[in-house]
Amino acid sequence: MTSIVSPGRSYEVIPEGTESDDFWMALGGRGEYSQSAIHYDHPVLDPRLFHCRISGSRMIAVEVHNFEKEVC
């Protein structure tokens, strides 16, 4: 991704919480933010099912309601 945003430049990985004061000053100062809503182990939305088909040069997606998942 860095090659697209800033081609020809190197990057540095900085773990969260170890940012320098200069880093925060460049962003306008350190601010408070909540980390309690960050859940990477499950999706944000409920599962949804779509039936997709091609019609001419268009793709049509129709949501399938009231579906059930069978656990094997």
What's this model's pTM, rounded to 2 decimal places? 0.36
CB 27 within 8 A of CB 33: no
* Cα distance between residue 11 and residue 2, in whole Å: 7
Confidence band, pLDDT 50/70/90 cuts, at residue 7:
confident
Nearest one of 68, 45, 50, 69 to 60, comparing CA atoms: 50
Using one digit for the tens of pLDDT, what is the confidence trace for 45-70? 778 899 999 999 999 999 999 888 78
Using one digit for the tens of pLDDT, what is the confidence trace for 8-44? 888 888 998 899 999 888 988 888 876 666 666 766 7
Looking at residue 19, its pLDDT comes to: 92
Rg (CA), the chain: 22
> Residue 19 CB: number of other CB atoms within 10 A?
13
> Residue 42 CB: number of other CB atoms within 10 A?
5
